[in-house]
Structure 1
Amino acid sequence: MKKIFNQFYVNLFLADRFFLALGFCVLLFLLKFFFSWLGDLPIIAFGVLMVILAVDVFVLYRLNSGLEAKRNTPKRLSNGDENPIQIEVQNTYGFSVGIRIIDEVPHQFQLRDTNFYLHLKPSEIKFINYKLRPTKRGEYSFGFIRAYVKSPLGLISRRYNFDNAKVVPVFPSFINLGQYELMAISHHLTEFGIKKIRKVGQSSEFDQIKNYVGGDDIRTINWKATARKGSLMVNTYTDEKSQNIYCVVDKSRTMRMPFEGLSLLDYAINASVALAKVAMLKEDKAGLITLSETIGAVVPAEKKSTQLNHIMQVLYKEKTRYLESNMEMLYSTIRSVIKQRSLVVFFTNFESLSALQRQMPYLKRIAKYHLLLVVFFENTELKSLSLTPAQDIEGIYYKTIAEKFIYEKKVMAKELNKHGILSILTTPQNLTINIINQYLALKAQHKI
């Protein structure tokens, strides 16, 4: 009995309408001192208020459960993307109710304004849809759904607590992977900023002989087949397949820098997943290596259907470290794991030319055996600072320093190219598009 009373007391809240009505009654009692003709009117008004209050309590509490609510979430959330969340609410009372819904979203979002207001007719079901954008990988815990219900009288509200607690993992960005897949198959990647690459020459992998049509390369005419058929026939070729594509993700302290809520590591991880997806669509093999002061995960290149999910599972818990990358260990790992010439995409960041020069001997040794593509980042804050007009001497100083660092980044790219190492200097936001563009260009040029 005591437990039932406590539940009743804890979940009952007096509404603003009750306090307004109570204030009116107090005003009547005060006026009675000056206007005796009011008589028993204040007492009657207060008694009517108490009766209405009792009726309101009765209609809201006569059912054990006058409301149903549940939260529908994806099995996993996509990092850096807008993820849809849905709350389903049903009114089982025999009258219309007003409802205030508070959803206890994971603490990582730091949201205190997830309030929703509904008006439901008897037996009506409504859906609340909103979106959440996580900026860190890991486990996110949803809490209660708390609903505050008011009857048409509106003097009190009854709280319902729906224990819809759920832990949802946040994986590297995967929402757009289906769109990349569709675009890759239909050859309309330009809609996502991915360029159409003009093919140079042809691969050595023969496909079929077909009739010549206008626009075919006359250099591919098969004269023997033409003589047999009596009409022009041409050879067709396909891209070379089953090439190894390895993404090497640097987890050192240089990758902790944040941009728009995501760290450089998260941008690199999202781009690695997208590149692996596109590579497997092109029937290449995708692999992964992560490193910091030690080698982290090593996923040998495969093109089986479960490979992408395996890569995402590995990247799910990867975090940045506080030490510099051990490039010597990376070189020895690549030599022992990758047995044939492959495309090695190294996601890292250099903040100074001296940092690049320390790693250059190892990069040149890797490039000796594989096609090495080094991806590093522009500092968008420095770029915006360099474009801002200087207002004083201090502003001129900051602008000059920013331009110096920007120039150094361009020098780094030229230094890499001078030693036969491909490079991409990109903003974090354009990383995925730029890396897929480069991969498709290398495929078109038959460098892999």
Structure 2
Amino acid sequence: MRFRIRNHAYFTHLFYYATGTVVFLLAMGQFGALFFQFGLIALGLLILLIIIEMLLLFVKPKEHFIAHRSIEERFSNGDNNQVSISLTNHFPFPVAINVLDEIPHQFQKRDFSIRLKLESGKSKDITYSLKPTERGEYTFGTLNVFVTSPLKLIERRLQFGHKQTVKVYPAFKEMRQFEMMAISNRLTDVGIKKIRRIGHQMEFDQIREYTKGDDYRTINWKATARRSSLMVNQYQDEKSQQVISIIDMGRTMKMPFEGMTLLDYAINASLVLSKIAMLKQDKAGLITFNSKVRTMVPPQRNSKQMQIVMEALYNQKTMFEEQSMEALYTAIRRKVHQRSLLVLYTNYESLNAAKRQLPMLQKLANDHMLVIIFFENTELKQLTTSKATDMEGIYIKTIAEKFAYDKKRIVLELERYGIHSVLTAPENLTVETINKYLELKARGYI
């Protein structure tokens, strides 16, 4: 425990060692005058050094040392976000520094500390990263810097800056990563599969001259007869298809996985899917619901759409309510008139739970292309692969295998009614979702 003197100054461990030595010499003075004299000399020297160090550290400390924290305008949920601190030493001597930044309470970092030495007249930038797991506002407090002179008897606390608030949005950094991969045709680097196109389920683009490697089935014989050279039809992907991400905010989406809820995983994946869909010339929309429809962003493709989607996703929270598929179906029937790709993020823990929603899901699938995306229980998967050593272990493993089997039966049941589905682990959600979208688009289903 450190003892504070005056304002923002603390004795160091070296001071206590020196004080202990002085006290010991004075105590030994009763056995000999020489020890007492050494004790008095040491005490006087200690007091002199303290006065010197206080003069060194307390004369215009704010002018002699400067610190500044820089944070990004907004943080990306589930990603590493950089925080920079710049330090400048204008003291006429080198100093030892201990940086204690008041990090937002959501990170629960009680032992944050950065120690370093800084020479006179030098500057240094230090960087650390924070990974938020919740959306919302995060507040940074004061930046505290403890400075110690070469004498190392007293350290001076300097406080810089003021409270800074940063908003944590859905994973826009992940979205940018996928965007850059899509622009440079490198989506396979992050696990996106190349899908072979089936037939010519695409829009006509133009007629051009035949080049080596073109499909003979695309030859336009009328244009060939007129130009007296082989001409082919060129096609392009169908554009302006509507892709609507539907996020279930019911109680089942509150389940945690590696610090984040399933709802946050679904929000991050829907943001990336919306961006990829717009890069593919489609329109992106959003619906969130639980007992009723909470948010509805009509499908659009313009420069402001992604910001509208991101702002809509920023404050979405589960309210521990049961989801109402009837309310969802009614809203879509009234507001979505064009056949669209509906990507529903939800979670089923049993076959009966899925069967209860089947009537409404069938109605949605009759009017639109419906894809149900739900989650594997990765903890159950670990139980099914572990070795049972006693009767209790056998019982637990049997129950886990039953629940895992139910998840697979849900996929088969949905397929039986013509509903596409994706069963995925939370960490693979974004990649699996994009793969399904690209597969359906390549096969001309949308």
Query: Cα offset for 1:31?
Result: 3.0
**Residue pair 1:90, 1:123 contacting (<8 A) in 2 also:** yes
TM-score by length of 1: 0.96
**Partner-residue secondary structure (3-state), 1:336:** helix
Question: For this pair of structures, how many residues does the alignment match?
Answer: 442
Q: Which moved more, 1:234-243 or 1:195-204?
A: 195-204
Which deviates the most, 68-77 or 275-284? 68-77
Q: Separation in 2 of the partners of 1:204 and 1:352?
A: 39
Q: Deviations over 1:13-66 (max 9, x none)?
A: 001111111112122223333343446221111101100110000010111412
Q: Shift of residue 216 of structure 1?
A: 1.8
Counterpart for residue 385 of structure 2: 387
Matched residue, 1:330: 328
Preserved CA contact (<8 Å) 2:136 2:169:
yes
Deviation of 1:227 after TM superposition, in Å, equals: 3.8
Instruction: Give 3-state SS (helix, strand or coil) of 2:173's partner.
Output: coil
Cα root mean square deviation, aligned: 1.4
Residues 82-101 of structure 1 aligned to structure 2 (within 5 Å): 82-101=80-99
Deviation at 1:289, TM superposition (A): 0.6
SS at match of 1:54: helix
Choose from 4, 10, 15 the match for 2:12. 15
1:117 counterpart SS class = strand
Cα displacement string for residues 358-409 of structure 1 (whole angstroms, at most 9, x for unaligned residues): 1100000111100000111110000001111001000000000000001001
Map 1:424-443 → 2, pairs under 5 A = 424-443=422-441
2:218 to 217, 220, 231: 220
Query: How has the CA–CA distance of structure 1 residues 62 and 241 changed in structure 2, closer, same or farther, with 3 Å as cutoff?
Result: same
Distance 1:379 1:171, change over 3 A: same
- From 235, 249, 252, the counterpart of 1:251: 249
1:73-96 deviation digits (Å, cap 9, x = unpaired): 111111111111111111121211
After superposing the two structures, state which structure 1 stretch, 31-40 or 349-358, moved more: 31-40
Secondary structure at the counterpart of residue 408 of structure 1: helix
Deviates further, 286-295 or 84-93: 84-93
Which whole-Å deviations, capped at 9, do the CAs of 1:312-364 have from their partners, x for residues lacking one?
Answer: 10111110121211111110000011011000011101111111111100000
Aligned equivalent of 1:46: 43
- Please give the alpha-carbon distance, in whole angstroms, between the structure 2 residues aligned to 1:290 and 1:418: 26
Sequence identity, in percent? Answer: 48
Counterpart-to-counterpart distance in 2, 1:211 and 1:95:
77
> How many Å separate the matches in 2 of 1:379 and 1:411?
14
Describe how 1:254-333 pairs up with structure 2 within 5 A.
254-333=252-331
| 1:243 partner letter | Q
3-state SS of paired residue (2:134): coil
Question: Which letter maps to 2:429?
Answer: L
Is 2:102–2:141's contact at 8 Å kept on the other side of the alignment? yes
Q: CA deviation at 1:181?
A: 1.2
- Which among 369, 372, 375 is matched to residue 371 of structure 1? 369
Are residues 1:356 and 2:334 paired? no
What are structure 2's unaligned runs of at least 5 residues?
A: none
Structure 1, gaps ≥5 residues long: 1-6
Give the match for residue 116 of structure 1: 114
Amino acid at match of 2:19: L
Give the Cα–Cα distance (whole angstroms) in 1 for the partners of residues 36 and 253 of structure 2.
79
Contact 1:86 1:128 (8 Å CA) reproduced: yes
- Report deviation, 1:215: 2.6
Opposite residue 167 of structure 1, the aligned amino acid is T
**Residues of 2 paired with 1:17 and 1:183: CA distance?**
55
Shift of 1:287: 0.5
Give the secondary-structure state (helix, strand or coil) at the position aligned to 2:306: helix
1:126 alignment partner, SS class = strand
**Mean Cα displacement is larger for which, 355-364 or 179-188?**
179-188
Question: Matched residues in 1 for 2:226 and 2:31: separation?
Answer: 120
The offset of 1:228, in angstroms, is: 4.4
Out of 163, 166, 176, which is 1:165 matched to? Answer: 163
Equivalent AA in structure 2 for residue 351 of structure 1: E
- One-letter amino acid of the counterpart of residue 350, structure 1: Y
SS at the partner of 2:389?
coil
Structure 1 residue identity aligned to 2:50: L
* Structure 1 equivalent of residue 31 of structure 2: 34
Return closer, same or farther for 1:336/1:315 CA change in 2, 3 Å cut-off: same
Q: Give the secondary structure class of the aligned counterpart of 2:213.
A: coil
Task: Tell me the CA shift for residue 8 of structure 1.
Answer: 7.3
Counterpart residue type for residue 235 of structure 1? N
The whole-number CA distance in structure 1 between the counterparts of 2:327 and 2:137 is 31
Asked if 1:153 corresponds to 2:144, the answer is no
Q: Does 1:59 align with 2:56?
A: yes
Equivalent residue for 1:344?
342
- Encode CA deviations 1:394-428: one digit per residue, 9 max, x unaligned: 00000000000010011001100100111111111
Paired letter, 2:156: R
Shift of 1:211: 3.3
- Residue 73 of structure 1 is matched in structure 2 by 71
> 3-state DSSP class of the match of 2:172?
coil
Question: Amino acid of the residue matched to residue 9 of structure 1?
Answer: R
1:71–1:164 Cα contact (<8 Å) kept: no
CA contact (8 A) 2:219 2:231 kept: yes
Output the CA distance in 2 between the equivalents of 1:216 and 1:47.
96
SS for the counterpart of 2:233 is: strand
Q: Distance in 2 between matches of 1:43 and 1:349?
A: 76
Q: Which residue of 1 aligns with 2:21?
A: 24
Q: Supply the distance in 2 between the matched residues of 1:148 and 1:290 (Cα, whole angstroms).
A: 48
Specify the alignment match of 1:399 in structure 2. Answer: 397
Question: Structure 2 CA distance, aligned partners of 1:370 and 1:196?
Answer: 25
- Structure 2: distance between partners of 1:39 and 1:145: 45
TM, length-normalised to structure 2: 0.96
Counterpart secondary structure, 1:215: coil
1:210 partner SS:
strand
